[in-house]
Amino acid sequence: MKSAKNSGAPESPAACSLRPSSPGKSTLVEPGESSWTDAKPGYVGRFAPSPTGTLHFGSLLSALASFLDARAHHGRWLLRMEDLDPSREPAGAAQQILETLDAFALHWDGDVLYQSDRLTEYHNSLTFLNDQNMTYGCDCSRQRSRSNEGVYDNLCRNRASPPIDDFAIRLRLPDTNIQFEDRIQGIYQQNLPSQCGDVVLRRRDGLIAYQLAVVVDDAWQGVTDVVRGYDLIDSTPRQIALQQILGYQTPRYAHIPVACNAMGQKLSKQHFAKALEPSSSRVYLREALRFLGQDLSGNPQTETPQSLLQRAIERWDIQRVPKLANIPVGHQLG
Protein backbone atom coordinates (compact mmCIF):
# COMPACT_ATOMS: atom_id res chain seq x y z
CA MET A 1 0.00 0.00 0.00
CA LYS A 2 1.49 3.26 -1.09
CA SER A 3 1.40 5.91 1.60
CA ALA A 4 -0.58 9.02 0.91
CA LYS A 5 1.43 12.10 0.14
CA ASN A 6 1.00 14.14 3.24
CA SER A 7 -0.12 17.52 2.08
CA GLY A 8 -0.84 19.82 -0.78
CA ALA A 9 1.26 22.48 0.89
CA PRO A 10 4.72 23.09 -0.53
CA GLU A 11 6.43 21.35 2.37
CA SER A 12 9.39 20.46 0.22
CA PRO A 13 11.92 23.14 -0.62
CA ALA A 14 12.78 21.29 -3.81
CA ALA A 15 12.95 23.63 -6.75
CA CYS A 16 10.03 23.33 -9.07
CA SER A 17 11.24 22.29 -12.48
CA LEU A 18 7.95 23.03 -14.11
CA ARG A 19 7.32 26.49 -15.46
CA PRO A 20 4.88 27.56 -18.12
CA SER A 21 6.82 27.25 -21.30
CA SER A 22 6.61 29.49 -24.30
CA PRO A 23 3.98 28.10 -26.64
CA GLY A 24 5.12 25.17 -28.69
CA LYS A 25 8.33 24.72 -26.80
CA SER A 26 8.67 21.99 -24.27
CA THR A 27 10.84 22.87 -21.32
CA LEU A 28 10.01 19.61 -19.61
CA VAL A 29 12.32 17.23 -21.40
CA GLU A 30 15.06 16.22 -19.07
CA PRO A 31 18.51 15.88 -20.57
CA GLY A 32 19.41 12.32 -21.45
CA GLU A 33 15.86 11.17 -21.96
CA SER A 34 15.10 8.85 -24.83
CA SER A 35 15.71 10.31 -28.24
CA TRP A 36 12.18 10.24 -29.59
CA THR A 37 11.32 13.25 -27.48
CA ASP A 38 13.90 15.20 -29.49
CA ALA A 39 12.13 14.53 -32.75
CA LYS A 40 9.72 17.22 -33.84
CA PRO A 41 7.49 15.58 -36.39
CA GLY A 42 4.29 17.30 -37.39
CA TYR A 43 2.09 14.66 -35.83
CA VAL A 44 2.47 12.75 -32.57
CA GLY A 45 -0.35 10.47 -31.49
CA ARG A 46 -0.64 8.04 -28.65
CA PHE A 47 -2.54 5.14 -27.17
CA ALA A 48 -2.77 5.18 -23.39
CA PRO A 49 -4.34 2.08 -21.87
CA SER A 50 -4.70 1.41 -18.16
CA PRO A 51 -3.37 -2.07 -17.36
CA THR A 52 -6.47 -3.05 -15.40
CA GLY A 53 -7.00 -6.15 -17.51
CA THR A 54 -6.63 -7.55 -20.98
CA LEU A 55 -7.49 -5.53 -24.07
CA HIS A 56 -11.04 -5.96 -25.39
CA PHE A 57 -12.79 -4.80 -28.54
CA GLY A 58 -13.44 -1.36 -27.04
CA SER A 59 -9.77 -0.79 -26.31
CA LEU A 60 -8.85 -2.10 -29.78
CA LEU A 61 -11.00 0.65 -31.32
CA SER A 62 -9.06 3.38 -29.53
CA ALA A 63 -5.74 1.75 -30.33
CA LEU A 64 -6.61 1.22 -33.98
CA ALA A 65 -8.13 4.66 -34.61
CA SER A 66 -5.21 6.48 -33.00
CA PHE A 67 -2.73 4.24 -34.85
CA LEU A 68 -4.34 4.74 -38.25
CA ASP A 69 -4.66 8.48 -37.82
CA ALA A 70 -1.00 8.76 -36.80
CA ARG A 71 0.29 6.56 -39.62
CA ALA A 72 -1.93 8.23 -42.23
CA HIS A 73 -0.27 11.52 -41.17
CA HIS A 74 3.20 9.91 -41.33
CA GLY A 75 3.35 10.66 -37.63
CA ARG A 76 4.64 8.92 -34.56
CA TRP A 77 2.43 6.66 -32.46
CA LEU A 78 3.42 6.44 -28.83
CA LEU A 79 2.32 4.02 -26.17
CA ARG A 80 1.74 5.14 -22.62
CA MET A 81 0.81 2.80 -19.81
CA GLU A 82 -1.49 4.59 -17.36
CA ASP A 83 -0.51 2.53 -14.36
CA LEU A 84 -1.13 4.87 -11.45
CA ASP A 85 -3.44 2.69 -9.41
CA PRO A 86 -1.67 -0.54 -8.41
CA SER A 87 -4.74 -1.81 -6.57
CA ARG A 88 -6.59 -2.09 -9.90
CA GLU A 89 -3.73 -3.57 -11.92
CA PRO A 90 -3.35 -7.34 -11.99
CA ALA A 91 0.23 -8.57 -12.27
CA GLY A 92 1.26 -9.08 -15.87
CA ALA A 93 -1.57 -7.04 -17.39
CA ALA A 94 0.73 -4.38 -18.85
CA GLN A 95 2.91 -7.02 -20.47
CA GLN A 96 -0.14 -8.76 -21.84
CA ILE A 97 -1.34 -5.52 -23.44
CA LEU A 98 2.02 -5.08 -25.16
CA GLU A 99 1.92 -8.64 -26.47
CA THR A 100 -1.63 -8.25 -27.74
CA LEU A 101 -0.82 -5.02 -29.59
CA ASP A 102 2.16 -6.76 -31.11
CA ALA A 103 0.02 -9.69 -32.25
CA PHE A 104 -2.34 -7.21 -33.91
CA ALA A 105 0.64 -5.59 -35.72
CA LEU A 106 -0.06 -2.33 -33.88
CA HIS A 107 3.59 -1.41 -33.46
CA TRP A 108 4.39 1.72 -31.48
CA ASP A 109 7.35 4.06 -31.72
CA GLY A 110 10.01 4.43 -29.06
CA ASP A 111 9.90 3.22 -25.49
CA VAL A 112 6.69 2.63 -23.61
CA LEU A 113 6.11 5.42 -21.09
CA TYR A 114 4.97 4.14 -17.69
CA GLN A 115 3.16 6.71 -15.60
CA SER A 116 4.37 4.98 -12.46
CA ASP A 117 7.85 6.26 -13.42
CA ARG A 118 6.60 9.82 -13.64
CA LEU A 119 5.48 10.57 -10.08
CA THR A 120 8.17 13.20 -9.52
CA GLU A 121 6.96 15.17 -12.54
CA TYR A 122 3.35 15.05 -11.40
CA HIS A 123 4.32 16.23 -7.93
CA ASN A 124 6.40 19.02 -9.45
CA SER A 125 3.29 20.14 -11.32
CA LEU A 126 1.27 20.00 -8.12
CA THR A 127 3.88 22.09 -6.34
CA PHE A 128 3.88 24.60 -9.17
CA LEU A 129 0.09 24.90 -9.15
CA ASN A 130 0.08 25.17 -5.39
CA ASP A 131 2.67 27.95 -5.54
CA GLN A 132 0.35 29.79 -7.94
CA ASN A 133 -2.48 29.43 -5.41
CA MET A 134 -4.38 27.35 -7.97
CA THR A 135 -5.12 24.41 -5.67
CA TYR A 136 -6.95 23.70 -2.44
CA GLY A 137 -7.57 20.78 -0.14
CA CYS A 138 -10.95 19.08 -0.16
CA ASP A 139 -12.17 16.41 2.24
CA CYS A 140 -15.71 16.20 0.92
CA SER A 141 -17.12 12.71 0.76
CA ARG A 142 -17.35 10.98 -2.57
CA GLN A 143 -21.13 10.89 -2.23
CA ARG A 144 -21.22 14.63 -1.71
CA SER A 145 -18.87 15.39 -4.58
CA ARG A 146 -21.02 13.36 -6.93
CA SER A 147 -24.46 14.24 -5.63
CA ASN A 148 -25.04 17.02 -8.17
CA GLU A 149 -24.84 14.73 -11.24
CA GLY A 150 -21.13 14.41 -10.70
CA VAL A 151 -20.49 18.16 -10.74
CA TYR A 152 -18.60 19.29 -7.66
CA ASP A 153 -19.93 22.56 -6.23
CA ASN A 154 -16.49 23.84 -5.17
CA LEU A 155 -17.59 23.89 -1.53
CA CYS A 156 -14.04 23.74 -0.12
CA ARG A 157 -12.67 26.43 -2.43
CA ASN A 158 -13.11 29.27 0.06
CA ARG A 159 -13.19 27.47 3.37
CA ALA A 160 -11.95 29.48 6.32
CA SER A 161 -10.09 26.48 7.73
CA PRO A 162 -8.65 24.13 5.11
CA PRO A 163 -8.57 20.41 5.91
CA ILE A 164 -5.46 19.30 7.79
CA ASP A 165 -5.04 15.75 6.59
CA ASP A 166 -6.78 13.08 4.56
CA PHE A 167 -7.88 15.32 1.73
CA ALA A 168 -7.85 15.49 -2.03
CA ILE A 169 -6.19 18.34 -3.89
CA ARG A 170 -8.40 20.18 -6.34
CA LEU A 171 -7.57 22.68 -9.06
CA ARG A 172 -9.37 26.03 -9.07
CA LEU A 173 -10.77 25.99 -12.57
CA PRO A 174 -11.57 29.33 -14.18
CA ASP A 175 -15.24 30.33 -14.15
CA THR A 176 -15.57 30.13 -17.89
CA ASN A 177 -16.72 28.16 -20.92
CA ILE A 178 -14.25 25.99 -22.75
CA GLN A 179 -14.96 25.14 -26.36
CA PHE A 180 -13.02 23.05 -28.84
CA GLU A 181 -13.63 21.59 -32.27
CA ASP A 182 -13.53 17.82 -32.21
CA ARG A 183 -12.37 16.36 -35.53
CA ILE A 184 -15.20 13.81 -35.48
CA GLN A 185 -17.90 15.19 -33.23
CA GLY A 186 -17.68 18.89 -34.11
CA ILE A 187 -17.89 21.79 -31.68
CA TYR A 188 -18.02 20.73 -28.05
CA GLN A 189 -18.51 23.19 -25.25
CA GLN A 190 -18.67 23.00 -21.50
CA ASN A 191 -19.24 25.55 -18.78
CA LEU A 192 -16.65 24.62 -16.17
CA PRO A 193 -18.38 25.78 -12.97
CA SER A 194 -21.83 24.40 -13.80
CA GLN A 195 -20.93 21.31 -15.83
CA CYS A 196 -17.61 20.23 -14.36
CA GLY A 197 -16.62 21.73 -11.01
CA ASP A 198 -13.07 21.96 -9.68
CA VAL A 199 -11.12 18.94 -10.74
CA VAL A 200 -9.23 16.54 -8.48
CA LEU A 201 -5.50 16.50 -9.20
CA ARG A 202 -4.41 14.27 -6.34
CA ARG A 203 -6.87 11.87 -4.86
CA ARG A 204 -7.64 11.58 -1.20
CA ASP A 205 -5.76 8.27 -1.07
CA GLY A 206 -2.64 10.08 -2.30
CA LEU A 207 -2.72 8.79 -5.87
CA ILE A 208 -2.22 11.23 -8.71
CA ALA A 209 -5.48 11.70 -10.58
CA TYR A 210 -5.87 10.79 -14.23
CA GLN A 211 -6.64 14.38 -15.26
CA LEU A 212 -3.30 15.73 -14.07
CA ALA A 213 -1.18 12.85 -15.33
CA VAL A 214 -2.71 12.85 -18.81
CA VAL A 215 -2.16 16.58 -19.29
CA VAL A 216 1.42 16.52 -18.02
CA ASP A 217 2.31 13.50 -20.14
CA ASP A 218 0.60 14.61 -23.35
CA ALA A 219 2.65 17.82 -23.14
CA TRP A 220 5.88 16.08 -22.18
CA GLN A 221 5.54 13.56 -25.01
CA GLY A 222 4.77 16.33 -27.50
CA VAL A 223 1.40 14.81 -28.40
CA THR A 224 -0.27 16.84 -31.14
CA ASP A 225 -3.31 14.63 -31.69
CA VAL A 226 -5.46 12.72 -29.22
CA VAL A 227 -7.81 10.09 -30.67
CA ARG A 228 -9.80 8.31 -27.97
CA GLY A 229 -13.25 7.18 -26.89
CA TYR A 230 -16.28 9.44 -26.59
CA ASP A 231 -16.54 8.60 -22.89
CA LEU A 232 -13.60 10.96 -22.35
CA ILE A 233 -14.99 13.92 -24.30
CA ASP A 234 -16.42 15.55 -21.19
CA SER A 235 -12.97 15.41 -19.58
CA THR A 236 -11.46 17.36 -22.47
CA PRO A 237 -12.52 20.91 -21.44
CA ARG A 238 -10.99 20.52 -17.97
CA GLN A 239 -7.83 19.12 -19.54
CA ILE A 240 -7.68 22.11 -21.89
CA ALA A 241 -8.11 24.46 -18.92
CA LEU A 242 -5.26 22.74 -17.11
CA GLN A 243 -3.08 22.91 -20.24
CA GLN A 244 -3.70 26.64 -20.38
CA ILE A 245 -2.81 27.12 -16.72
CA LEU A 246 0.41 25.14 -17.17
CA GLY A 247 1.31 26.96 -20.39
CA TYR A 248 1.02 23.90 -22.61
CA GLN A 249 -0.24 23.70 -26.15
CA THR A 250 -3.61 22.07 -26.65
CA PRO A 251 -3.57 19.04 -28.96
CA ARG A 252 -6.24 18.40 -31.54
CA TYR A 253 -8.91 15.98 -30.36
CA ALA A 254 -11.00 13.31 -32.05
CA HIS A 255 -13.44 11.25 -30.00
CA ILE A 256 -14.62 8.01 -31.56
CA PRO A 257 -17.90 6.32 -30.61
CA VAL A 258 -17.71 3.91 -27.69
CA ALA A 259 -18.61 0.26 -28.24
CA CYS A 260 -21.35 -0.90 -25.91
CA ASN A 261 -23.03 -4.21 -25.22
CA ALA A 262 -26.70 -5.11 -25.70
CA MET A 263 -27.47 -3.56 -22.30
CA GLY A 264 -26.04 -0.24 -23.48
CA GLN A 265 -23.02 -0.55 -21.19
CA LYS A 266 -19.57 0.49 -22.40
CA LEU A 267 -17.40 -2.55 -23.03
CA SER A 268 -15.16 -2.75 -20.01
CA LYS A 269 -13.69 -5.10 -17.52
CA GLN A 270 -16.49 -4.29 -15.06
CA HIS A 271 -19.00 -5.44 -17.65
CA PHE A 272 -17.02 -8.56 -18.47
CA ALA A 273 -15.92 -7.55 -21.95
CA LYS A 274 -14.29 -10.45 -23.77
CA ALA A 275 -10.52 -10.41 -24.06
CA LEU A 276 -9.15 -10.06 -27.60
CA GLU A 277 -7.95 -13.32 -29.09
CA PRO A 278 -4.66 -12.72 -30.89
CA SER A 279 -5.29 -15.77 -33.08
CA SER A 280 -8.36 -13.99 -34.51
CA SER A 281 -6.65 -10.63 -34.99
CA ARG A 282 -7.76 -10.24 -38.63
CA VAL A 283 -11.41 -10.77 -37.72
CA TYR A 284 -11.22 -8.23 -34.90
CA LEU A 285 -9.38 -5.72 -37.06
CA ARG A 286 -11.97 -5.99 -39.81
CA GLU A 287 -14.78 -5.60 -37.30
CA ALA A 288 -13.04 -2.58 -35.80
CA LEU A 289 -12.63 -1.00 -39.25
CA ARG A 290 -16.32 -1.63 -39.95
CA PHE A 291 -17.21 0.00 -36.62
CA LEU A 292 -15.10 3.02 -37.55
CA GLY A 293 -16.87 3.37 -40.89
CA GLN A 294 -13.78 2.58 -42.94
CA ASP A 295 -13.35 0.93 -46.33
CA LEU A 296 -13.40 -2.85 -45.92
CA SER A 297 -12.26 -3.95 -49.34
CA GLY A 298 -9.52 -6.53 -49.51
CA ASN A 299 -9.48 -10.27 -49.34
CA PRO A 300 -10.02 -11.56 -45.81
CA GLN A 301 -8.68 -14.99 -46.85
CA THR A 302 -5.23 -13.86 -47.91
CA GLU A 303 -4.51 -10.78 -45.87
CA THR A 304 -2.27 -10.60 -42.83
CA PRO A 305 -2.76 -8.12 -39.99
CA GLN A 306 0.10 -6.14 -41.54
CA SER A 307 -1.39 -5.99 -45.03
CA LEU A 308 -4.82 -5.23 -43.65
CA LEU A 309 -3.43 -2.34 -41.59
CA GLN A 310 -1.36 -1.03 -44.47
CA ARG A 311 -4.44 -0.80 -46.67
CA ALA A 312 -6.40 0.75 -43.80
CA ILE A 313 -3.72 3.43 -43.37
CA GLU A 314 -3.86 4.30 -47.07
CA ARG A 315 -7.63 4.58 -46.98
CA TRP A 316 -8.08 6.07 -43.53
CA ASP A 317 -10.73 8.77 -43.56
CA ILE A 318 -11.63 10.12 -40.15
CA GLN A 319 -14.68 11.85 -41.61
CA ARG A 320 -16.21 8.40 -42.13
CA VAL A 321 -16.18 7.65 -38.41
CA PRO A 322 -19.80 7.89 -37.21
CA LYS A 323 -20.54 11.08 -35.28
CA LEU A 324 -22.07 9.12 -32.43
CA ALA A 325 -21.44 8.75 -28.72
CA ASN A 326 -21.77 4.98 -28.75
CA ILE A 327 -22.61 2.04 -30.99
CA PRO A 328 -23.81 -1.38 -29.81
CA VAL A 329 -21.80 -4.41 -30.89
CA GLY A 330 -22.75 -8.08 -31.03
CA HIS A 331 -22.08 -10.46 -28.18
CA GLN A 332 -19.28 -12.16 -30.12
CA LEU A 333 -17.29 -8.91 -29.79
CA GLY A 334 -18.37 -7.68 -26.40
Give min distance, CB of 122 to Zn ion, in A. Answer: 21
- With contacts defined by CB under 5 A, name the span among 104-112, 140-148, 287-295, 319-327 that binds Zn ion: 140-148
Q: Which of residues 217-276 bind Zn ion (CB under 5 A)?
A: none
How many residues contact Zn ion, by CB under 5 A?
Answer: 4
Q: How far apart are CA 120 and CA 112, in angstroms?
A: 18
Integer angstrom CA distances of residue 221 from 46, 83, 236, 247 = 9, 16, 18, 15
Binding flag, residue 288, Zn ion (CB under 5 A) = no
Strand pairing category for 44-47 and 76-81:
parallel
Give min distance, CB of 124 to Zn ion, in A. Answer: 24
Give min distance, CB of 273 to Zn ion, in A. Answer: 34
Based on CB atoms, which residue is closest to Zn ion, 138 or 178?
A: 138
Q: How far apart are CA 63 and CA 77, in angstroms?
A: 10
Q: How far apart are CA 9 and CA 303, in angstroms?
A: 58
- With contacts defined by CB under 5 A, name the span among 107-115, 132-140, 215-223, 248-256 that binds Zn ion: 132-140
Strand pairing category for 113-114 and 326-328:
unpaired
Q: How far apart are CA 30 and CA 152, in angstroms?
A: 36
Give min distance, CB of 65 to Zn ion, in A. Answer: 37
Based on CB atoms, which residue is closest to Zn ion, 41 or 163?
A: 163
Position among 140, 201, 321, 333 found at the interface with Zn ion (CB under 5 A): 140
Whether the CA torsion 132, 133, 139, 140 is positive or negative: it is negative
Contacts 24+ apart (CB under 8 A), 117-121: 118/213, 118/216, 118/217, 119/208, 121/18, 121/28, 121/216, 121/220
Position among 63, 138, 216, 285 found at the interface with Zn ion (CB under 5 A): 138
Give min distance, CB of 147 to Zn ion, in A. Answer: 12
Q: Which of residues 144-173 bind Zn ion (CB under 5 A)?
A: 155-156
- List interacting residues with Zn ion (CB under 5 A): 138, 140, 155-156
